[in-house]
Structure 1
Amino acid sequence: MKIGILHLTDAHFSSDKDFVYNKTSKIVAAVKYIYEDCDKIYITFSGDIANMGKTEEYEIAKCFLNSIRSLFKRFYLDKVFPQIIISPGNHDCDFALDNQSRRILLTNPSYTVLGDDGSIINTALSVQKPYFEFVKKLNDQDIDANLFSCINDTVGEHHIQFLSLNTAWMSQIKEQPGTLFFPVRIVEGKLNKNTDICISIFHHHPAWMTPNTIENNRTEFIDFVNEHSDFVLVGHEHQQRSELNGLIGTETVKYFCGEALGEVNKQTSGFQSFIIDIDSRNGVFQSYSWNNNDDLYEKRKEFDFELKKLYSRLQEFHVRPEFIKSIEAIEIPLGEKQNEIKISDLFVYPDLEKRAT
């Protein structure tokens, strides 16, 4: 059995005069025939739907996405998954709703600062209120402001999951790489791991996560995403690229960063498409970019790729964080920052040379 995925990202909608706004039929025309053998089709959007997170911008986005969904349903009827699967980006925050309390708590993010009652997270999520109202209306579903959502579906006997992560929950104006924090511990215990295929979707590449916490949140985030995902859809970079991402000693996972669907004051646009064979765990990737001369989206790249081996994601045995922490601990006294320094911070790998035998 096969599934098809349309991946859109970074539209930055501000008005119905935006370059991409009237191109819904062009997008669908570019890919409508490639999904003919698919048993289910999903529409996804990895953030920066709006430009400044305003309600009126989301109304524009809602019209656009409803049009995409309606056109797909005209061709594929019930094969089209009813929900559009979305994760928010930094442009989806309305910073007019920001306040001093939120700005202060974001200066030094950590699990200690967050606590365990959810109040800090709720304060940080306040700038995304218009975004969550938009998602409710778009998908006609009751959804609370949160750090993540799991969208589950069944195709034949296969369980499909989209894991949408809210990496923009602590975004700020003019944010810098290495400053974001995603509380993996809070999310991890709430996930359903018994799926045949799990596709993660979020806005910020892991490089935007901070390494400057005791746990190294960037490493922690990559570990978390790669453990649960078969492949990953990312936004924010505005350029199409794919990469294998993983840490030494762990299995790598394919990350796909999408071209911006729309950029302010630019007549450029792109998106990407996937066809996944669930049984063989192989996929086909295609990217499309706007061709002004021919007035259409043309295919720019196509290649095959493999999903992560199913057993590696569903295996029962995982090294516990407590054990990793114990073997990383330094026994010799190093002063007041003793608890912040790990063996891996100090270890110097030997310089090896290959010699002829």
Structure 2
Amino acid sequence: MSELLRVEHLTKIFTSGLIGGYEIRAVDDVSFEVKPGEIVSLVGESGSGKTTVGKLILRLLTPTSGRILFEGEDITTFSKKRLKSDYYRKVQAVFQDPFASFNPLHIVDSAFYMVFDSYFPELDREEREELIDSALRDVGLNPSEVRGKYPHQLSGGQLQRILIARALLLRPKLLIADEAVSMLDASTRVDVLNLLGEFRDKYGTSVIFITHDLALGYYISDSTIIMYRGTIVEMGDTEKVFHNPLHPYTKMLLESVPDLNVKWEFRKITPEKEESAVYAIEGCRYAPRCSKAKEICFKVRPELIEVEKNHWVACHLYR
């Protein structure tokens, strides 16, 4: 088995409203895999479904259909007890808002104590303190400067590093980083990204890096998955996706990145249909915004095809 994680035909449907509401297929027939030691970026704008995919893999949401295979086992069949005792020892997460991840009434050390109580109850106090200090140093923090502090006494960058230290305390095989650097300043973002890369190299930890920022995804990832309105439109080796984009949506995203050497010209935004109509389109959901859309694009959903080795696109232009 070459992959650590395999997602097969994953679908999540939400219903808007109580009476007469419409269905939103937030994740629609998504399939991909993550190999051991690989960093995969899920990239897309708000509403693309990338965060929902992360929550489904973490079992914070229950899939409507599809399978999530981790080390060959379908974790959608796991009980809550097995998720906590087995799965969450191997799969950890770091979320967008570091301040929301801590109890403001407790010192930040308590985040580590919860991990020990759940997974290492046999360790005595001295062993726990040594492990906390070691984990903090691993993420570039001086234990004496952050321990015993409350969340409001620390910066967002310090808190995010503490969360990474806590997650990596378990030496997980997979780390899901959901917009984990979006609230940090530019210099701190690079430091945190480098940390993720270092832990991948040191411990073989795989990472699913969820972001709306193309530059960050390009900087950190081996493979990139481009999502739009719950579907995968393009995926493959990061270098190929960024330097030879195939899908019109991927091209539009890359063209939207500001170039410091060119004077800006504001791009005219093509208005979308209302949200319920976009999700109800039978064909390509990007068709209403696509200048190259044909009649078939509105009627038939394109399948992912491998145009070149390790580079897939879902677009009728490449049939």
Shorter-chain TM-score category?
0.3 to 0.5
TM-score (ref. length: structure 2): 0.35
Higher relative CO (Cα under 8 Å, sequence separation at least 6) belongs to 2
